[in-house]
């Protein structure tokens, strides 16, 4: 009996790990996609878009399966609600990456070459903050005392992201040769990217509370 | 009539199941690691196993109620204890069923003029303090060790969940088995010697003795109690005293089991002493009180912020109320049953210093010259006789017991029916043979029957140093005595 219970748990542990892989993967695919877009390589961009959509579907399926297991098998009663919220939050971050790529596809923003580096840097920080979230989450499940080693990095990347975002928006609005509508369009994209890091920080804050609750 | 008398034993079993299941599954259900339904099913099954398999090892045990000498009295005493436990269960407090029984017996002692067992009272009061303190110490220590282990083993949250759940289930199953084995004699033990049931053989595969059938009935009553009314007390233990994590829930039941094993197990003490090892002192511990201590111990080691002191105060009041209420209900009910229903709730026990008794007292090394003026004088109750003796000489508690046992008048005759019943019991064939030699003999004192049996066979004799064997002989003698009375 004990063995079969452990096997079942090994199943859910694997699913959680895979789900985290998908979140992490979405960040990398988003970065690839945006770089392809900035280079004007629309074929590679389309490919990244297909991949990220698949990743999102897989992530959704995994999250649903984990949540179903949590409830039907009444697992971790003391942290079930927290784990559920955490999974939803991480899934929301995954969706943000997908959403961003789709936004590029739908709106096709005209990004001036001088802003390319800032956009790349901004997305890099957002991806890194989500990466730190992923590492914190893995630690939350496997080694709760190590969560703090990762969680503080989220804030670091988020503040870096804020700096670049401010710098980029300032640069956009300093340009005299652009229409206000164009500037606002670019600002919208800068904010979309920056928002990912902001949300990653919110997730880290909530995770911090879940850790305290489990340690009590 | 037997069926009517048995109902109070079964009601007591039901109350015990409704209250004491919380000691083994309370924390698991309170932390929602095991559903109440699942806990009740496992608890019920293993209580029955424990009662029938291990309870039968002590088939002759009359339990606490053995102190009551009339079956109608035992009925009332069991009923009083059951009503007390039922009332406190409805209120949701974990209380000790044994303490309710002891309280109800004291009610009977008061009513019948028998001597009150102050030792038992002292044990109850000690248990209120010792059980929670010992359990709290052990649970705090175990919690620290286990929390340290989990931290360094880096166990995945879901694996830890699985391990804790399995641990809680296994501990609950073992605890339920012990609950059935240890308490069944209190529930139906008193009815074994007067049981009209016959052995049943199932197609020759296995046999269920008359005692086992009673134990099965008792076990089922405990199981039904858990199923129908056990949730309330479980939730008090599991979440009412302090918020608990599943690991803490497991540590609490583990600490409870460890404390009971180390400080209440005579087998462990005999084993340690037998191997020349230092043994833990045997102290009165109650599982119902120890589990509360276990929960508090963990809460305290975590800073003590989550403890609901008000609930703890209420539980302490319930502990104190248990024996007191049982005494009152027992006394009043005995009065009603004796006077309204005209049932004999006790056989008056007279005391007299007969020539044989005096001889026996002297053999015990107690001088009898100061008792000359009350020689051959009959006293209607133990209390009156003891008062008369204490006015004439100062005796230690042990000496008082010896004098009381020697002078208790108990005119008994070994009837044909008693021999037949003994032949059908689980006594050894040598014991049965020795008992048959007493057929149609009459005895003035109980100890004379015991002496006659001891002279007839070594299997009826106490062996110096062999505690287990002596306990067994005492139990068998109790059984014989009760049966001889029932057959008269």
Domains identified in chain A and CATH numbers:
2-215 (1.20.58.220)
Residue in A with minimal Cα distance to B247: A78
- pLDDT, one tens digit per residue, over A40-74 is 999 999 999 999 999 999 999 999 999 999 988 88
Share of chain A above pLDDT 70, in %: 95
What phi, psi does B302 have (nearest 5°)?
-90, 10
Give B370's contacts (C-beta < 8 A, 6+ positions apart): B392, B393
Q: How many Å lie between the alpha carbon of A129 and the closest alpha carbon of chain B?
A: 24
Q: Are B28 and B253 in contact (CB under 8 A)?
A: yes
For residue B173, how many other CB atoms are within 10 A of its CB? 18
Is the Cβ–Cβ distance between B188 and B13 less than 8 Å? yes
Question: Among A184-188, A205-209, B52-56, whose mean pLDDT is lowest?
Answer: B52-56
Residue A122 Rama label (left phi>0; alpha psi -120 to 50; beta) = alpha
Among candidates B135, B168, B177, which has minimal Cα distance to B288?
Answer: B135
B424-429, Cβ contacts within 8 angstroms, sequence gap of 24 or more = B424/B198, B424/B199, B424/B210, B425/B59, B425/B60, B425/B479, B425/B483, B426/B59, B426/B60, B426/B209, B426/B211, B427/B60, B427/B476, B427/B479, B427/B480, B428/B459
Tokens of B307: 């403890």
Q: Spell out which residues of chain A touch residue B250, defining contact as CB-CB under 8 Å.
A: none
Residues of chain B found within 8 Å of residue A5, distances taken between Cβ atoms:
162, 165-166
Answer for the pair A216, B246: CB distance below 8 angstroms, yes or no.
no
Chain B residue nearest residue A138, CA to CA: B156
CA separation for the pair B29, B252 (Å, rounded): 13
Mutate to test the interface with A, among B34, B157, B164, B247 (most CBs of A within 10 A): B157
Rounded-to-integer distance, Cα A60 and Cα B137, Å: 48
B156 vs A216: CB contact, 8 Å cut-off? no
Question: Is residue A106 over pLDDT 80?
Answer: yes
The predicted pLDDT at position B192 comes to: 75
Lowest mean pLDDT among A128-137, A157-166, B14-23, B393-402: B393-402
Question: What is the distance between the alpha carbons of residues A130 and B446, in angstroms, rounded to a whole number?
Answer: 85
pLDDT in tens, chain B (488 residues): 778 888 998 999 999 999 999 989 999 999 999 999 999 999 999 999 988 887 755 445 556 666 777 778 888 999 999 999 999 999 999 999 988 988 998 998 888 887 777 777 888 888 888 888 989 999 999 999 998 898 888 888 999 999 999 999 999 999 998 888 888 888 887 777 777 777 777 777 777 777 788 889 999 999 999 999 999 999 998 989 998 899 999 999 999 888 888 887 777 777 888 888 877 777 777 888 899 999 999 999 988 888 999 999 999 999 999 999 999 999 999 999 888 887 877 777 888 888 788 888 888 788 877 877 887 888 888 888 888 888 888 877 788 888 888 888 887 888 888 888 777 777 788 888 888 888 888 888 888 888 888 888 888 887 777 777 777 788 788 888 877 776 66
User: Are the beta carbons of A175 and A104 closer than 8 angstroms?
Assistant: no
Distance from CA of B170 to the nearest CA of A (A): 10
CB contact under 8 A, A9 and B161: yes
Interface confidence, given as ipTM, is: 0.86
Give B165's contacts in chain A (Cβ within 8 Å).
Answer: 5
Helices marked H in B36-117 — which ranges?
A: 36-49, 71-90, 97-112
Distance CA B78, CA B331 (A): 12
CB-CB under 8 Å, A13 with B156: yes
Looking at the predicted structure, is the pLDDT value of residue A140 above 70?
yes
State whether B154 and A142 contact (CB < 8 Å): yes
pLDDT at res. B342: 78
Helical (H) or strand (E) element with B331: helix B309-339
How many angstroms separate the CA atoms of B12 and B215, rounded? 13
The CB-based long-range contact list for A67-72 (8 Å cut-off, 24+ gap) reads A69/A11, A69/A12, A69/A15, A70/A12
When CB atoms are compared, the residue of A1, A6, A76 closest to B157 is: A76
- Report the pLDDT value the prediction gives residue A9, as an integer from 0 to 100: 58
Whether A5 has a pLDDT exceeding 70, the answer reads: no
| Test mutation, A1, A6, A9, A212, chain B, max B CBs within 10 A | A9
What is the per-residue pLDDT for A6? Answer: 54
> What letters, b where the CB count within 10 A reaches 16 and e where it falls short, cover A38-57?
beeeeeebeebbebbeebbe
Rounded-to-integer distance, Cα A42 and Cα A102, Å: 13
CA-atom Rg of chain B in angstroms? 24
Find the distance separating the first CA and the last CA of chain B, reported in whole Å. Answer: 17
- Give the three-class secondary structure for B201: strand
Quick check: B154 and A143 CB within 8 A? yes
Average pLDDT over residues A23-44: 94
**What secondary structure letter does DSSP report for B282?**
P
| pLDDT for B59 | 46
Specify the pLDDT at position B62: 59
* Separation between Cα atoms, residue A37 and residue A49, nearest integer Å: 11
């Amino acid at each position: 009996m004990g063995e079969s219970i452990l096997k079942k748990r090994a199943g859910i542990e694997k699913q959680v790990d895979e789900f985290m892989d998908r979140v992490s993967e979405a960040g990398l695919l988003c970065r690839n996609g945006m770089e392809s877009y900035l280079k004007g390589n629309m074929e590679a961009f389309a490919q990244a878009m297909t991949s990220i959509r698949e990743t999102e579907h897989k992530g959704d399926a995994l999250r649903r399966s984990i949540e179903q297991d949590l409830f039907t098998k009444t697992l971790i009663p003391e942290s079930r609600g927290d784990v559920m919220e955490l999974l939803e939050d991480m899934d929301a971050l995954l969706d943000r990456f997908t959403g961003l790529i789709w936004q590029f596809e739908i709106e096709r923003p005209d990004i001036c070459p001088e802003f390319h580096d800032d956009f790349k840097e901004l997305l890099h920080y957002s991806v890194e903050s989500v990466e730190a979230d992923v590492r914190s989450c893995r630690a939350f499940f496997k080694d709760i005392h190590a969560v703090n080693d990762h969680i503080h990095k989220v804030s670091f990347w988020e503040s870096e992201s804020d700096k670049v975002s401010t710098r980029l928006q300032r640069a956009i609005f300093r340009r005299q040769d652009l229409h206000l509508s164009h500037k606002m369009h670019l600002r919208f994209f800068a904010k979309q990217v920056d928002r990912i890091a902001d949300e990653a920080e919110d997730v880290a804050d909530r995770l911090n509370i879940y850790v305290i609750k489990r340690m009590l | 009539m037997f069926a009517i008398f048995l109902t109070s034993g079964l009601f007591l079993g039901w109350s015990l199941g409704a209250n004491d299941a919380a000691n083994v599954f309370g924390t698991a259900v309170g932390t929602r690691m095991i559903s109440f339904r699942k806990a009740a099913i496992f608890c019920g099954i293993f209580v029955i196993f424990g009662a029938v398999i291990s309870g039968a090892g002590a088939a002759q045990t009359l339990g606490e109620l053995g102190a009551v000498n009339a079956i109608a009295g035992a009925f009332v005493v069991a009923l009083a204890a059951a009503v007390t436990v039922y009332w406190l269960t409805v209120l949701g407090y974990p209380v000790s069923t044994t303490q309710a029984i002891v309280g109800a017996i004291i009610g009977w002692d008061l009513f019948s003029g028998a001597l009150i067992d102050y030792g038992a009272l002292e044990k109850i009061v000690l248990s209120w303090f010792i059980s929670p303190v010992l359990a709290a110490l052990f649970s705090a220590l175990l919690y620290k060790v286990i929390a340290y282990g989990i931290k360094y083993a880096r166990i995945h949250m879901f694996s830890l969940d699985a391990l804790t759940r399995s641990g809680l289930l296994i501990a609950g199953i073992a605890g339920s088995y012990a609950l059935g084995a240890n308490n069944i004699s209190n529930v139906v033990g008193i009815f074994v010697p007067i049981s009209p049931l016959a052995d049943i053989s199932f197609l020759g595969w296995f046999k269920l003795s008359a005692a086992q059938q009673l134990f099965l009935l008792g076990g089922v009553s405990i199981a039904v109690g858990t199923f129908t009314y056990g949730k309330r007390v479980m939730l008090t233990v599991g979440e009412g005293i302090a918020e608990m994590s599943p690991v803490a829930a497991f540590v609490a039941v583990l600490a409870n089991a460890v404390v009971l094993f180390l400080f209440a197990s005579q087998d462990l003490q005999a084993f340690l002493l037998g191997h020349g090892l230092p043994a833990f002192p045997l102290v009165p511990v109650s599982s119902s009180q120890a589990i509360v201590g276990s929960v508090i111990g963990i809460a305290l080691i975590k800073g003590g912020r989550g403890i609901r002191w008000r609930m703890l105060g209420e539980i302490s009041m319930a502990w104190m109320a248990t024996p007191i209420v049982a005494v009152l209900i027992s006394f009043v009910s005995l009065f009603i049953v004796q006077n309204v229903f005209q049932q004999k709730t006790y056989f008056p026990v007279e005391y007299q210093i007969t020539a044989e008794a005096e001889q026996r007292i002297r053999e015990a090394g107690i001088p009898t010259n100061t008792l000359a003026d009350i020689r051959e004088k009959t006293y209607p109750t133990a209390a009156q006789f003891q008062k008369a003796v204490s006015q004439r000489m100062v005796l230690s508690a042990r000496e008082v017991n010896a004098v009381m046992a020697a002078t208790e008048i108990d005119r008994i005759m070994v009837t044909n029916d008693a021999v037949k019943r003994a032949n059908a019991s689980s006594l050894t064939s040598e014991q049965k043979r020795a008992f048959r030699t007493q057929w149609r003999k009459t005895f003035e004192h109980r100890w004379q029957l015991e002496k006659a049996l001891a002279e007839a066979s070594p299997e009826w004799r106490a062996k110096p140093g062999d505690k287990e064997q002596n306990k067994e002989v005492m139990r068998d003698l109790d059984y014989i005595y009760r049966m001889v009375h029932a057959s008269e």
